[in-house]
Amino acid sequence: MSKEEKRAQMLSMIADWQQSGMSKKRYCEENGIHEATFYYWFSRSKENDTDRGRFITLDKSGRNSDVEVIYPNGVRIKVDTDL
Protein backbone atom coordinates (compact mmCIF):
# COMPACT_ATOMS: atom_id res chain seq x y z
CA MET A 1 0.00 0.00 0.00
CA SER A 2 1.39 3.43 -0.94
CA LYS A 3 1.79 6.25 1.58
CA GLU A 4 -1.11 8.11 -0.02
CA GLU A 5 -3.37 5.06 0.21
CA LYS A 6 -2.41 4.47 3.86
CA ARG A 7 -3.06 8.14 4.68
CA ALA A 8 -6.46 8.04 2.95
CA GLN A 9 -7.35 4.86 4.85
CA MET A 10 -6.40 6.38 8.20
CA LEU A 11 -8.24 9.66 7.53
CA SER A 12 -11.29 7.61 6.60
CA MET A 13 -10.92 5.72 9.89
CA ILE A 14 -10.82 9.01 11.82
CA ALA A 15 -13.94 10.25 10.03
CA ASP A 16 -15.65 6.94 10.85
CA TRP A 17 -14.69 7.33 14.53
CA GLN A 18 -16.06 10.90 14.60
CA GLN A 19 -19.40 9.68 13.24
CA SER A 20 -19.51 6.74 15.67
CA GLY A 21 -19.92 8.78 18.85
CA MET A 22 -17.58 6.37 20.65
CA SER A 23 -14.56 7.27 22.70
CA LYS A 24 -11.24 6.83 20.92
CA LYS A 25 -10.37 3.93 23.19
CA ARG A 26 -13.61 2.06 22.57
CA TYR A 27 -13.43 2.65 18.81
CA CYS A 28 -9.91 1.22 18.74
CA GLU A 29 -10.94 -1.81 20.80
CA GLU A 30 -13.95 -2.57 18.61
CA ASN A 31 -12.00 -2.15 15.38
CA GLY A 32 -8.77 -3.90 16.36
CA ILE A 33 -6.63 -0.77 16.09
CA HIS A 34 -3.71 -0.06 18.39
CA GLU A 35 -4.45 3.13 20.32
CA ALA A 36 -0.97 4.51 19.66
CA THR A 37 -1.53 4.13 15.91
CA PHE A 38 -4.89 5.86 16.14
CA TYR A 39 -3.50 8.75 18.17
CA TYR A 40 -0.58 9.13 15.75
CA TRP A 41 -2.89 9.48 12.76
CA PHE A 42 -5.32 11.64 14.72
CA SER A 43 -2.51 14.11 15.54
CA ARG A 44 -1.32 14.03 11.92
CA SER A 45 -4.83 14.83 10.69
CA LYS A 46 -4.90 17.91 12.94
CA GLU A 47 -1.57 19.17 11.51
CA ASN A 48 -3.18 19.44 8.09
CA ASP A 49 -6.48 20.88 9.25
CA THR A 50 -7.38 23.62 6.76
CA ASP A 51 -9.75 25.38 9.17
CA ARG A 52 -6.93 26.63 11.39
CA GLY A 53 -6.80 30.02 9.73
CA ARG A 54 -7.01 31.83 6.46
CA PHE A 55 -7.25 35.30 5.01
CA ILE A 56 -10.62 36.87 4.33
CA THR A 57 -11.59 39.83 2.16
CA LEU A 58 -12.78 42.93 3.98
CA ASP A 59 -15.01 45.44 2.23
CA LYS A 60 -14.18 49.00 3.24
CA SER A 61 -17.66 50.22 2.14
CA GLY A 62 -16.63 53.88 2.20
CA ARG A 63 -16.19 54.00 5.96
CA ASN A 64 -13.35 55.97 7.52
CA SER A 65 -12.85 54.08 10.73
CA ASP A 66 -9.79 52.44 12.18
CA VAL A 67 -9.32 48.68 12.30
CA GLU A 68 -8.19 47.22 15.59
CA VAL A 69 -7.10 43.64 16.25
CA ILE A 70 -6.84 42.45 19.85
CA TYR A 71 -4.95 39.22 20.48
CA PRO A 72 -5.69 36.91 23.44
CA ASN A 73 -2.43 37.96 25.11
CA GLY A 74 -3.60 41.59 25.19
CA VAL A 75 -1.53 42.90 22.27
CA ARG A 76 -3.45 45.43 20.19
CA ILE A 77 -2.79 46.41 16.61
CA LYS A 78 -4.59 49.47 15.31
CA VAL A 79 -4.52 50.37 11.61
CA ASP A 80 -5.57 53.73 10.23
CA THR A 81 -7.84 53.09 7.23
CA ASP A 82 -6.75 56.33 5.56
CA LEU A 83 -3.61 54.55 4.35
Q: Where are the alpha helices (DSSP H) in the chain?
A: 3-20, 24-31, 35-47
Quote the pTM value. Answer: 0.52
More confident residue, 29 or 46: 29
CB 44 within 8 A of CB 30: no
Q: Whole-angstrom Cα distance, residue 2 to residue 13?
A: 17
- Supply the pLDDT for residue 47: 67
- Supply the pLDDT for residue 36: 94
Condensed to tens digits (0 to 9), the pLDDT of residues 37-83 reads 999 988 888 766 655 567 778 776 666 677 888 888 889 998 877 65
Q: Whole-angstrom Cα distance, residue 47 to residue 9?
A: 17
Q: Where in the chain are the domains?
A: 3-52
